[in-house]
Structure 1
Amino acid sequence: MSGLSTRDIGHRVVVRHRLDGGQATDVIGVLQSYDEQTLEVRHADSTPYRIHQTAVVAAKPIPPMPLRRVDVEQLFLTTALGRPAVETLYVGEWLLRASGGWTGRGNSVLPAGDPGLPFSDAAKQVEAFYLERALPPLALARIGYPEFEEFTGLGWIDARPAKSDALVLHTTLDHVNGVPAYEVLVAGRPDAEWYEAAFDDQVPATAPPVMEGAPKAAFASVELDGRVVAVARGSMTGHWLGVDAVRVDPAYRRRGLATALVQGLARWAGPAGGRRTYLEVEEENVGALTIYTALGYVEAYRYRYLTSR
């Protein structure tokens, strides 16, 4: 007899059940659905197992999967692939990105890997790329990593000294795919209401191609009182779910809407092969940081933007 209920949807469980031949077997994974007739468990490899309640011998919740050590180099590149810029160019393995000046991530070099040139020569190519586009030369440099010291050694300085560090956080998808407290609509394309909720003013011209440019993206929203009051974007890169563009109408904050958006995107990503998730937040954004750490996110690395001008 099952020891589970609908409250366990989104959490890890173990279910012992009998197969057609009569032998018993165990399935461990995240409970995807539960009703009087059947339950469905998603295995860690995203394989869904639908089990009739009459076949269940025993079932119970189990602790979340331990958070594995993250491959920072892989995650560093994954963050760029999940939100591709309008224009990109490689210098060796370095990724130059330009998006008309909208967002630092879309208009900075990602110094991942070997540029194939002496560092100083590669930095000069970075400067030339951005100056040709009338953009300030920017490098997204991880604090405490060699590229940060290399850039600063060449005279590059903090481009945004008044702002705090940007933190890249990560966790396993099992930690964040609980049942949202609100109905979260997840669509493959954003509509006008989504963009209206995502931006205070006019939508920048380069925002739609950046937001919609990932091969596999999803746009989450929550509607209350007849209008969209909270939105977020998700993207899949391999088994990684990236979450960004989380925005809640100021009049509806402190109600758990941001948590619901992350959970809704996590539940979208699981059947699509998602296993892990990341997001970015500025250290000074204490409210958002509190929400994300409560969901199980931990710091992978932090970065700042450096400029030569």
Structure 2
Amino acid sequence: MSGLSARDIGHRVVVRHRLPGGQLTDVLGVLQSLDAESLVVRHADSTPYAVRLADISAAKPIPPLPLRPVDVEQLFLTTALGRPAVETSYVGQWLLRASEGWTGRANSLLPAGDPGMPLAEALKHTEAFYDERGLPPLALVRVGTTLDAEFRQQGWVESRPGESDALVLLTSLDLVNGVPAYEVEVNDHPDADWYGTAFEGEVPAPAPAVMEGAPKAVFASIREGGKVVAVGRGSMTGHWLGIDGVRVDPAYRRRGLATAVLQGLARWSGAQGGRRTYLEVLESNAAAVSTYLSLGYAEAYRYRYLTSR
């Protein structure tokens, strides 16, 4: 075997090896362990593949899956499909979302695709949609894009000028689907205990419809002494796993519970055909950003909310 050593444990690798029948095959994933006799590679579906060193013809570390421009466009829309709003409408291909004002994502325009009309006209339709619902006209716009500049030329400005950029981070599923240090329950529906940990205080009225509205969503929780102390939500859109709603009871923080929730959701997703995972975090949340980067996440893009008022 060449190209791999103990320092590659935890990184993505490809291993070409010979099967009992003599044919060669490749296994790709994260190097989980390596000793004098064999190695173990963990695939995106969480399956560990043990390979004898004597059967390996070639092995080397590989970089994470590259993110192409088309992947960014797909991810931009995927984030909306993974957490749908209570009410939606369209201006051409642009997605209008409203959820009684709860969260910016669920109450903003997602300008993905072609609006089917001049920009100024599309923005007038956008303003009318939110005016009818008594909501401020918001647009979730990727920072630094041509569309960002065009919105600003039309008089749209930052709705939250004091807030940092929201980062959309992604990584390969096999980098974050290790075995959690805690037992993670994954259920199709959240219960009162889940909501009690996910929110500090009263649960906003639109929250259940938004959180439970995706076609394929699950709710993770960790219990200590019978009490739910950490939660998170996962949703599948194609091969993408979206993770949000991660929250740890303040009394139980700095124990790796958030990481365990993420790993539990990743392992669930792998069995569903997941290959990549994304999440969103404010750049100002330095502790969370540091944790996610250490797990292998990288920035796909960043966004801000713009408004015409």
Give the TM-score taking structure 1 as reference length.
0.86
Name the residue aligned to 2:66: 68
Name the residue aligned to 1:28: 27
Shift of 1:17: 6.0
**1:252 and 2:272 equivalent?**
no
Contact 2:193 2:228 in 1 (8 A): yes
Amino acid at match of 1:204: P
Partners of 1:40 and 1:186 in 2: CA distance: 26
94-103 or 169-178: which moved more? 169-178
Partners of 1:261 and 1:12 in 2: CA distance: 25
Give the root-mean-square deviation of aligned CA atoms. Answer: 2.9
Name the residue aligned to 2:136: 136
Aligned ranges 1:53-202 → 2 under 5 Å: 58=55, 63=61, 65-70=63-68, 71-202=71-202
Amino acid at match of 1:103: T
Change (3 A) 1:187 1:50: same
Shift of 1:163: 1.0
Shift of 1:270: 0.7
Unpaired segments ≥5 residues, structure 1: 1-7
Shift of 1:33: 11
Name the residue aligned to 1:273: 273
Partners of 2:49 and 2:286 in 1: CA distance: 41
Partners of 2:239 and 2:150 in 1: CA distance: 32
Amino acid at match of 1:221: S
Name the residue aligned to 1:288: 288
Name the residue aligned to 1:264: 264
Contact 1:9 1:178 in 2 (8 A): no
Amino acid at match of 2:145: Y
Shift of 1:138: 0.4
Name the residue aligned to 2:204: 204
Give the total of aligned pairs: 294
Partners of 1:202 and 1:304 in 2: CA distance: 27
Change (3 A) 1:183 1:48: closer
SS of 2:271 mapped into structure 1: helix
Shift of 1:67: 3.1
Amino acid at match of 2:65: L
101-110 or 174-183: which moved more? 174-183
Shift of 1:66: 2.5
Amino acid at match of 1:231: V
Partners of 1:177 and 1:47 in 2: CA distance: 6
Partners of 2:184 and 2:13 in 1: CA distance: 21
Shift of 1:178: 1.1
Give deviations 1:203-258, integer Å, cap 9, x for gaps.
11111111111111111111113211111101111110101111111111111111
Give deviations 1:5-53, integer Å, cap 9, x for gaps.
xxx899767484644xx3354351448999xxxx997766x597988x9
SS of 1:235 mapped into structure 2: strand
Q: % of aligned pairs identical?
A: 62
**1:214 and 2:211 equivalent?**
no
Change (3 A) 1:11 1:224: farther
Amino acid at match of 2:76: F
Name the residue aligned to 1:5: none
Name the residue aligned to 2:301: 301
SS of 2:235 mapped into structure 1: strand
Contact 1:64 1:174 in 2 (8 A): no
Contact 2:240 2:276 in 1 (8 A): yes
Contact 1:99 1:206 in 2 (8 A): yes
Amino acid at match of 2:90: Y
SS of 1:263 mapped into structure 2: helix
SS of 1:272 mapped into structure 2: coil
Partners of 2:97 and 2:267 in 1: CA distance: 30
Change (3 A) 1:65 1:177: farther
Partners of 2:94 and 2:125 in 1: CA distance: 11
Change (3 A) 1:74 1:209: same
Partners of 1:254 and 1:157 in 2: CA distance: 38
Contact 1:243 1:277 in 2 (8 A): yes
Amino acid at match of 1:234: G
Contact 2:12 2:64 in 1 (8 A): no
Contact 1:11 1:61 in 2 (8 A): no
Shift of 1:56: 9.5
